[in-house]
Amino acid sequence: MSFANEPVPLLRDLIRIDTTNPPGAETAVVDHLRRLLAGVDVDLKVLGPDPERLNLVARFPGRGEAPPLLLHAHSDVVPVDGQQWTHPPFEARIVDGHVWGRGAIDMKGGLAMMLSALSRLAAAGERPAGDVVLAVVADEEAGSAVGARYLVNEHPELFDGVEYAIGEEGGAGIDLPGHRFHPIVVAEKRACWLRVTLRGPGGHGSRLAPPDSPMARLGRLLGTLTGTRMPRHQTSAADRMLEVLAGALPAPLSEQVTRYREDQTGDPRPDGLPQREALRLDSVLRHTANPTIVRTTEKINVVPSEITVDLDGRILPGGYTVEDFVGELRHLVGEDFEHELLLEGSMVRPERIRQPEFGGFYDTMADILAKADPDAVPLPMVSPASTDARLFAQLGIRCYGWLPLKLPAGTDYRGLLHTVDERVPLDALEFGTGCLTELLRSYR
């Protein structure tokens, strides 16, 4: 029995449900999906610690010939405050061949593709080799406390036997000289947000501030963090990514990437890549710490004696700890500082995290992409951002970011996330739905 074969109408319905986080109110999406799935052969569970912010876990039965497969998507979206949209962000208008609205890409579009793929399989009278567990979770945009974190900590039995998972990130084409690449995210960095406090002598604004004043220290701190990179650490996933890039790019860029991969001490960054892709590549080879918020006195005639700086830190995969990260940060800055940990993408069960696997399930995804877009190259990717995959991975599940979108050449996919005029092409939704449908058919 089909229920939502076409992703576009479903996405438009989802965008019109305002789940801006905060406050979230994701239960409205859950209620919509319960109505959509009424009468479908599926085991539905609705649960969560906050009745206004519920999660839905739906198990679609398979043939019992393979382990369950997890598809996870979040139902919340980031705010639109202060943004001047060309089209209203919660009306889901179709203009110029795109669906416009908050969540079109991040990630109600992905949820619509997942549901449409499941519906198409049902309409064809087919069942996948194993059960498919669809988890529609709240709160991903603000730490996942009432969403994936709650499910993993309080209801891990819902995911018993799951070997592989598909979630956001990955799939959207990247245009580099000579080739289009379709990323498959095999690992991701995790967040480590810090508040650094700088203290020292202050006073009247008419007097020169001493070199150890918080403002002087702030200048040095910001100059270092924005002008100097942290040490490089080449994980196995990043090494495979560089290997594939070097093998596919034309000369002389391929030789530059090869040197970049092999010379980890000199760090000769490839200069033939577009700047945004070079920076993205650089960010998955080292921990990063971006200063984002500075707070101090609001009096113009007062030299502050205390300043706080919030840092958006991101820690590489591969077993690195908060202590490793802070130690490198202190060494880079060259002076001591007080810090408070605001948020850590903590590993509750680090012993269950599995290394990326190349072959088997990964090859299935790569083959589907290669057939759907023969001119593109599947690319294993480390994501500089973190998703709910970091939590499901603690159940021993191998998690991948794979929501294929064939975007127009030159599209800055990441530039559409969390910003004004988020939108997705209609044909990109169809492309992704087709790929996901084929994955459900091919999964073993």
Of the candidates 117, 22, 91, the residue with the CA atom closest to the CA atom of residue 429? 117
Residues 102, 32 within the same domain:
yes
Out of 287, 316, 344, a domain closes at 344
Q: Is residue 420 part of a domain?
A: yes
SS3 63: coil
pLDDT in tens, the chain (444 residues): 678 899 999 999 999 999 999 999 999 999 999 999 999 999 999 999 999 999 999 999 999 999 999 999 999 999 999 999 999 999 999 999 999 999 999 999 999 999 999 999 999 999 999 999 999 999 999 989 999 999 999 999 999 999 999 999 887 888 888 889 999 999 999 889 999 999 999 999 999 889 999 999 999 999 999 999 999 999 999 999 999 999 999 999 999 999 989 887 766 678 788 888 888 888 999 999 999 999 998 899 999 999 999 999 999 998 898 999 999 999 999 877 899 999 876 555 555 677 778 889 999 999 999 999 999 999 999 999 899 999 999 999 999 999 999 988 878 887 888 999 999 999 999 999 999 999 999 999
**246 and 118 both lie in a single domain:** no
pLDDT for 351 equals: 56
Structure token digits, residue 164:
């592989």
Tell me, what CATH number does 37's domain have?
3.40.630.10
Does residue 147 sit in the same domain as residue 212? no
Strand runs (DSSP E) across 270-411, as ranges? Answer: 288-295, 302-303, 306-315, 338-344, 376-383, 398-401
d(CA 403, CA 197): 40
Domain of 299? 189-344
For residues 263 and 142, state if they share a domain: no
257: in domain = yes
Query: Phi then psi for 51, rounded to 5 degrees?
Result: -60, -20
Parallel, antiparallel, or unpaired: how do β-strands 98-100 and 376-383 relate? Answer: unpaired
Do residue 391 and residue 310 come from a single domain? no
Contact 312, 292 (CB under 8 A): yes
For 290, phi then psi, to 5°, come to -100, 125
DSSP tag of 230: P
Residue 123 lies in a domain: yes
306 CA to centre of own chain: 34
Whose tokens are 């991975």? That residue is 393
Tell me: do 319 and 435 sit in the same domain: no
Residue 368 domain-assigned (yes or no):
no
Asked if 322 and 197 sit in the same domain, the reply is yes
Same domain? 16 vs 123:
yes
Question: Residue 352 falls within a domain, yes or no?
Answer: no
Q: Are 398 and 69 a contacting pair, CB within 8 Å?
A: no
CA atoms of 82 and 101, how far apart (whole Å): 15
Cα 433 to its chain centre, rounded Å, is 19
Select from 318, 344, 370 the last residue of a domain: 344
- Domain co-membership, 97 together with 156: yes
Q: Domain check: are 50 and 128 in the same one?
A: yes
User: CB neighbours (10 Å) of residue 288?
Assistant: 21
Q: How many domains does the chain have?
A: 2
For residue 189, how far is the Cα from the chain centroid? 9
Q: Which residue has the tokens 């449908």?
A: 437
Report CA torsion sign: 339, 345, 351, 353.
negative
pTM for the model stands at: 0.92
Q: Are residues 162 and 278 in the same domain?
A: no
In a domain, 12, yes or no: yes
Q: Is 332 exposed, middle or buried (0-12, 13-18, 19+ CB in 10 A)?
A: middle
Clarify whether residues 157 and 205 are in a common domain: no
Q: How distant, in Å, are the alpha carbons of 99, 107, 114 from that of 102? A: 10, 9, 18
- Say how far apart CA 298 and CA 303 lie, in whole Å: 10
CA gap 270, 249 in Å, rounded: 12
> Which of 287, 320, 344 is the last residue before a domain boundary?
344
Report if residue 316 sits inside a domain: yes
206: CATH: 3.30.70.360
Q: How far apart are CA 380 and CA 242, in angstroms?
A: 9
In this structure, is residue 305 part of a structural domain?
Answer: yes
